[in-house]
């Protein structure tokens, strides 16, 4: 036979019933009401899991579930959280949640202060209260002890993360931290100044005791009650946004909170700050600080988006930044009341997906992204192609330079071999050259084959001396590679020092684009046509050119101006 507890719809008292086939279907309650199990089996209560007021079937006993969150709703643990008391008007036995504040008697309609009624009945049954301790719920910031009469010698117990304050005639007096205290005139100096405390432990004194929870209460939900009008910083398009999230709250100044917020009320819970009385509908939120929080959220959210140039399309990336700004602004208002938000989170930004302006903004963002991506790809392609062309040109120039260096090395090797051969035979360059010129003069048309005329010989010798000089100069250059390199400039053109191109007549090399080197004469050893930065004969650095400050002559390398004789100024800047 399965038993269950059914609640009387008149007085709220619980009566035991049964599901057995022959069990009574009508059960009398102590209040005189006859409970019809068939019609009164459905009852309503606040689900301890989801907080919704739901209707459930009591005949299912402990297996009854909440129709919203599907959690067990009628277990022994939940029933043990009920407190029994009597109505002060009709004396009917009632039961309510231990943490409930007010309860309306179903028989006479009297509004009962549950905590005060429970405490008074406890004192009536057990005598005056001897232990003062916190008996509120987990989400309570400030809880007022229902008993206001205490005797000296009573024990005050304050838990960790709590404070207790004695109140008298609207003034916050003595404050106690965590610990166990025996109430006496020594630790109640504030009360002693107001009125003479009793010394006899059988007598009592009147005072109000508030317990303040200094630990942070977590996970309080919030949401904007209307849309926030903002302008997208990038385009100036007007949009309406919604926001929601959670925050944690704690007491920062107990005295200030009691004086400015609690006053003479029975306490303050987390839902009193910004309560949701209608489920998840943000429009139904109530609470003492709802207006303050909503005002700060809306104004700060719109201002932060504008000042930080946050794009609406990228706003989810800035939720942490916006959360910090909102936390700072809200705390500035709450600190006046002794409260603080240690954490504040924006978890959701609701965008107007059906708004034509938002659709246009989203399309513009997509188009801009595609254009930027295409431009990036095009630039990458151009850069890659340019790098390939530059690499090919550099490789071609390197091949030409290697070929030129190989020709020069071959020429030097040939000249060196000829010099060694002449040295072995015992005659000089001049003798060999004169011999070759003489042979050539004899065979030329000036002297004829085998001719021996004196005029012809002199003419031939004259011609041969010019030719001989050029041959000697060329041979000396090939035989003495360690000597200074002559200028790259020739009578027919100049040679590129970068890629090795020969006989260039323009101002720039047609192969690699190098500029024609400017030759200079060494002022120390007199070497001519130098194109390097230092003289190859004596190592003297290329003189810095300067402009005459008197006559305006340009590119002077000497110590004095050749036009007016002005000396080179000290610290003169090179051209």
Domain ends where: 446, 479, 512? 479
| CA neighbours closer than 13 Å in the CB half-sphere of residue 352 | 19
C-alpha angle with apex 36: 33 to 40, nearest 5 degrees?
100
What is the reported pLDDT for 76? 63
Q: How far apart are CA 470 and CA 137, in angstroms?
A: 116
Among the listed residues 481, 482, 501, the one whose alpha carbon sits nearest the alpha carbon of residue 490: 501
Q: How far apart are CA 350 and CA 347, in angstroms?
A: 10
Residues 226 and 261 in one domain: yes
Residues 372 and 420 in one domain: yes
Q: What's the CATH code of the domain at 285?
A: 3.30.479.30
Residues 272 and 302 in one domain: yes
In which domain, by residue range, is 406 found? Answer: 359-479
Q: How many domains does the chain have?
A: 2
Q: How far is CA 94 from CA 29, 42, 110, 115, in A?
A: 12, 19, 12, 13
> Is 137 a member of any domain?
no
The C-alpha torsion from 539 through 540 and 541 to 547, rounded to 10°, is -160
Q: How many helices (DSSP H) and strands (DSSP E) are in the chain?
A: 11, 26
> Is 307 a member of any domain?
yes
> Is 335 a member of any domain?
yes
> Is 540 a member of any domain?
no
What is the reported pLDDT for 327? 92
Q: How far is CA 441 from CA 390, 429, 474, in A?
A: 53, 18, 20
Q: How far apart are CA 229 and CA 233, in angstroms?
A: 13
Residues 221 and 335 in one domain: yes
> Is 328 a member of any domain?
yes
> Is 438 a member of any domain?
yes
Residues 334 and 378 in one domain: no
The C-alpha torsion from 17 through 21 and 22 to 27, rounded to 10°, is 30
What is the reported pLDDT for 324? 92
What is the reported pLDDT for 341? 92
> Is 319 a member of any domain?
yes
Residues 221 and 328 in one domain: yes
Tell me the β-bridge partners of 151: 204
Q: How far apart are CA 107 and CA 212, in angstroms?
A: 35
What is the reported pLDDT for 403? 75
| Non-local CB neighbours of 252 within 8 Å, separated by 6+ positions | 335, 338, 339, 340
Q: How many CB atoms lie within 10 A of CB 468?
A: 19
Residues 425 and 472 in one domain: yes
What is the reported pLDDT for 440? 59
Residues 223 and 242 in one domain: yes
Residues 339 and 369 in one domain: no
Residues 301 and 242 in one domain: yes
Residues 336 and 378 in one domain: no
Q: How far apart are CA 424 and CA 125, in angstroms?
A: 142
Among the listed residues 64, 45, 63, the one whose alpha carbon sits nearest the alpha carbon of residue 55: 45
Among the listed residues 142, 126, 281, the one whose alpha carbon sits nearest the alpha carbon of residue 212: 142
Domain ends where: 336, 352, 368? 352
Model confidence over 391-409: pLDDT tens digits? 777 777 777 778 777 777 7
What is the reported pLDDT for 488? 42
Domain ends where: 479, 498, 528? 479
pLDDT tens per residue across all 575 residues of the chain: 467 777 777 766 777 777 776 777 888 887 778 888 777 778 777 776 665 677 878 777 778 888 877 878 777 665 556 677 888 887 777 777 776 677 788 778 888 888 778 777 776 665 555 778 888 777 788 888 877 777 777 788 899 889 998 887 667 777 888 988 887 766 666 655 555 555 554 556 677 888 988 888 888 888 888 888 888 887 788 888 889 899 998 889 888 888 887 765 667 777 777 654 333 333 334 577 888 888 899 999 988 888 888 888 888 888 999 999 999 999 998 888 889 999 999 998 888 878 887 787 777 777 776 777 777 787 777 777 766 667 777 777 777 778 777 777 777 777 777 777 777 766 666 666 666 656 555 555 444 444 444 444 434 444 444 444 444 454 444 444 444 444 444 446 778 878 888 888 888 888 888 888 777 788 888 888 787 778 888 888 888 778 888 888 887 877 888 888 888 887 644 44
- What is the three-state SS of 390-438? HHHHHHHHHHHHHHHHHHHHHHHHHHHHHHHHHHHHCCCHHHHHHHHHH
What is the reported pLDDT for 328? 92
Per the listing, tokens 């020969």 go with 502
Residue-level length of the chain: 575
Residues 402 and 437 in one domain: yes
What is the reported pLDDT for 433? 63
Model confidence over 187-227: pLDDT tens digits? 666 655 555 555 554 556 677 888 988 888 888 888 888 88
Query: Taking a C-beta distance cutoff of 8 angstroms, is the pair 262, 349 a contact?
Result: no
Backbone φ and ψ for 464, nearest 5 degrees, come out as -65, -30
Per the listing, tokens 């317990």 go with 211
Model confidence over 509-535: pLDDT tens digits? 888 888 887 777 888 888 887 877 788
What is the reported pLDDT for 323? 92
> Is 557 a member of any domain?
no
* Mean pLDDT of all residues belonging to the chain: 74
């Amino acid at each position: 036979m399965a038993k269950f507890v059914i609640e009387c719809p008149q007085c709220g008292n619980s009566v035991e019933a049964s599901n057995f086939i022959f069990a009574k279907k009508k059960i009398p309650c102590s209040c005189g009401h006859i409970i019809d199990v068939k019609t009164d089996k459905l009852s309503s209560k606040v689900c301890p899991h989801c907080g919704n007021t739901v209707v459930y079937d009591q005949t299912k006993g402990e297996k009854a579930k909440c129709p919203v969150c599907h959690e067990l709703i009628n277990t022994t643990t939940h029933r043990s959280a009920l407190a029994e008391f009597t109505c002060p008007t009709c004396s009917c036995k009632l039961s309510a949640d231990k943490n409930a504040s007010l309860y309306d008697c179903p028989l006479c309609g009297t509004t009962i202060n549950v905590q005060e009624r429970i405490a008074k009945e406890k004192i009536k049954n057990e005598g005056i209260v001897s232990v003062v301790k916190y008996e509120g719920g987990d989400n309570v910031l400030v809880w007022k002890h229902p008993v206001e009469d205490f005797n000296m010698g009573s024990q005050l117990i304050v838990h960790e993360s709590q404070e207790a304050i004695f109140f008298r005639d609207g003034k916050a007096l003595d404050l106690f931290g965590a610990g166990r205290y025996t109430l006496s005139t020594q630790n109640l100096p504030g009360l002693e100044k107001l009125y003479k405390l009793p010394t006899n432990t059988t007598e009592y004194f009147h005072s109000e005791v508030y317990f303040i929870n200094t630990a942070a209460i977590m996970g309080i939900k919030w949401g904007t009650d209307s849309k926030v009008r903002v302008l997208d910083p990038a385009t100036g398009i007007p949009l309406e946004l919604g926001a929601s999230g959670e925050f944690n709250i704690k007491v920062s100044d107990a005295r200030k909170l009691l004086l400015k917020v609690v006053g003479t009320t029975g306490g303050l819970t987390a839902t009193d700050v910004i309560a949701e009385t209608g489920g998840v509908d943000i429009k139904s939120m109530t609470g003492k600080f709802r207006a303050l929080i909503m005002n700060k959220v809306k104004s700060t959210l719109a201002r932060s988006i504008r000042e930080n140039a946050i794009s609406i399309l990228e706003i989810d990336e800035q939720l942490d930044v916006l959360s910090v700004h909102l936390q700072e602004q809200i705390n500035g208002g709450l600190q006046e009341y002794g409260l603080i938000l240690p954490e504040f989170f924006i978890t959701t930004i609701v965008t107007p997906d059906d708004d034509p302006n938002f659709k246009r903004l989203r399309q513009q963002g997509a188009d801009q992204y595609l254009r930027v991506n295409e431009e990036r790809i095009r630039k990458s392609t151009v850069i890659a192609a340019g790098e390939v062309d530059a690499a090919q040109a550099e490789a071609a120039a390197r091949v030409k330079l290697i070929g030129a260096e190989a020709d020069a090395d071959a020429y030097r090797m040939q000249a060196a071999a000829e010099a060694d051969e002449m040295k072995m035979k015992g005659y000089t360059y001049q003798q060999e050259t004169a011999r070759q010129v003489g042979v050539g003069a004899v065979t030329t048309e000036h002297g004829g084959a085998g001719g021996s005329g004196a005029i012809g010989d002199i003419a031939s010798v004259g011609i041969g001396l010019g030719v001989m000089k050029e041959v000697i100069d060329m041979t000396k250059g090939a035989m003495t590679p360690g000597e200074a390199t002559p200028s790259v400039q020739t009578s027919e053109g100049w040679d590129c020092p970068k890629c090795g191109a020969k006989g260039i007549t323009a101002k720039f090399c047609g192969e690699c684009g190098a500029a024609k080197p400017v030759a200079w004469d060494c002022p120390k050893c007199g070497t001519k046509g130098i194109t390097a930065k230092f003289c190859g004969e004596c190592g003297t650095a290329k003189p810095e050119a300067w402009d005459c400050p008197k006559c305006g002559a340009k590119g002077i390398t000497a110590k004095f101006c050749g036009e007016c004789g002005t000396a080179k100024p000290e610290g003169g800047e090179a051209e």
